[in-house]
Amino acid sequence: MKASEVQPDLINPDPPISSIRLEAVDSPRRAYYSVDIYILPGGAGCRVQKASGGQKAKPVLENYWCPGLGQALQKQAALVAAKVNKKKGRLYEVSQEE
């Protein structure tokens, strides 16, 4: 197997370089949705982590690998837009953006 075919390690202890957190305005359990971007060590790209859940609930995590920061920012924007631009279902507002 070539080195270029090996997926980089997605674990990264560093804080995210970009973070957006949404909270549902009408949720009794304080539903949230966050999308963070982490730079992977050794120039291995970026990890976009989506977390969703509610108060006292274990979050549901999904991770996406992107080869560069530009693609990671696009993925983050697409994930957030899918939540805030919905016509029905739970309404989310941005509560934190870094």
pLDDT digits (tens, 9 = 90+) for 7-65: 555 565 678 999 999 988 888 888 899 999 999 888 889 999 999 998 888 899 999 99
What does the pLDDT read at residue 42? 83
Within-domain flag for 53: yes
CA distances in angstroms from 81 to 9, 26, 40, 58, 90, listed in the order given:
27, 19, 24, 24, 14
**For residue 15, what is the DSSP state?**
P
What does the pLDDT read at residue 47? 93
Q: Are 21 and 94 in contact (CB under 8 A)?
A: yes
Count of the separate structural domains present in the chain:
1
| pLDDT tens string 62-88 | 999 999 999 999 999 999 998 887 777
Residue whose C-alpha is closest to residue 98's, from 5, 45, 34? 34
Within-domain flag for 4: no
**Residue 42 to residue 8: CA distance in whole angstroms:** 9
Within-domain flag for 22: no
Give the domain range for residue 73.
27-86+91-95
Q: Is the pLDDT of residue 1 over 50?
A: no
**Residue 36 to residue 16: CA distance in whole angstroms:** 6
Within-domain flag for 16: no
